[in-house]
Amino acid sequence: MRKTMEGNNYIVSIDIGTDGKVRNLILKKGGDTTIEKALQQASTLWQFIPILKDGVPEARTVGIPIRVKAPAQQSAPQ
């Protein structure tokens, strides 16, 4: 993710498929099309547990808040 996104908050709408993968992401609040594209790319790595109805997975559209955080620095082994 871009350095300028760190610490910022965004609201997105995502479609979660029956396999738990993100099918679509739309930025609802907090950025522009460049931010939306970066979040769409990141969403390809996300995995969710789908909602079950009568034991059968269902696709859903949900809104979620996202706060971008830099990855933790790993210290070198000594």
What are 35's two structure tokens? 């931010």
pLDDT exceeds 70 at position 40: yes
Radius of gyration of the CA atoms of the chain, in A:
15
Domain residue ranges in the chain: 3-67
Q: Would you say the C-alpha torsion 31, 19, 48, 75 has a positive or negative sign?
A: negative
On the question of pLDDT at 5 being above 90, the answer is no
Let me know how long the chain is.
78
pTM of the shown model? 0.74
75 DSSP assignment = P
Say what the alpha-carbon torsion angle 22, 38, 67, 76 is, to the nearest 10 degrees. 100
